Amino acid sequence: MDELKNQDCPVCHEKTATLIEDERSFKNFKCFLFSITCSSCNYHKSDLEIEPPQEKKQSVNIKNPKELKIQLAKSSEAIIKIPEIRLAIKPDVSSNGYITTAEGILSKYKKELEEERDSAEDQEDRKKAKNQLKKLWKIELGEIPITLTIEDSSGNSALIT
Ligand SMILES: [Zn+2]
C-alpha cells in the first residue's frame, strides 16, 4: 500500500489530502484501489480498476445469510440491482468504487431507508421505507432469496468467487 500525505486537495486546494493506492490479487484478476481523502473539507473519493477487464454483467443467487458474505469489487460506474426488492443503485457524481460484500450493499441501503423512515416529510414515503426495511430483514434471515446483479460497461466490477 502506498500513502502520500499533504497533497493538494482538488476541492479546497489545501495541502491536506491523503492519496492511497493499493493492489489486491484475487483468483481471476488483480484489483487496483485508489482513494483521496481531505482532512480540511472532508472530500473523499475512491475507485478501483480490474485487470483484465471482467464480464459486463454478473449475477449471483443468494439464498441464505451465509451467502450474503460474497465479496464484490464495485467500481464507481457499477449499477447494482436486486430485482426482488426493486433495488437499482445507479452511479452518480458522488459514487465511489470499493470492495464490499452483498451484506455491505444491503446495510448501506438499510441506513438510507432508516433515515427515510424517520425523517421523510411525506407519510407515504415513510411507510414505503418501513415496508422495504421489513423485506431487508427477511433477506437477512434467508426468508427471501435474491439475485444480485452487478453491471459495469467499463469491466471494472466483479463478483469475487
Ligand atoms: Zn479539501
Dist. CA 19 → ligand 1 center (Å) = 12
Give me the amino acid identity at 26. F
Cβ < 5 A residues, ion ligand 1: 9, 11-12, 38, 40-41, 43
Q: What is the pLDDT of residues 114-158, one digit of tens each?
A: 999 999 999 999 999 999 999 999 999 999 999 999 999 999 999
**pLDDT grade for 85, boundaries at 50, 70 and 90:** very high
**Do residues 22 and 156 lie in contact, with contact meaning Cβ atoms separated by under 8 Å?**
no
The pLDDT value recorded for residue 161 is 86
Q: What's the residue count for the chain? A: 161
Residue 101 has pLDDT above 90, yes or no: yes
In three-state secondary structure terms, 142 is coil
Query: How close is the Cα of 97 to the center of ligand 1, in Å?
Result: 19
Distance in Å, CA 70 to ligand 1 centroid: 34
> How far, CA to CA in Å, does 45 sit from each of 5, 12, 37, 64, 110?
15, 14, 7, 32, 22
64-84: average pLDDT:
97
Burial of 123 (0-12, 13-18, 19+ CB in 10 A): exposed
pLDDT tier for residue 49 given thresholds of 50, 70 and 90: very high
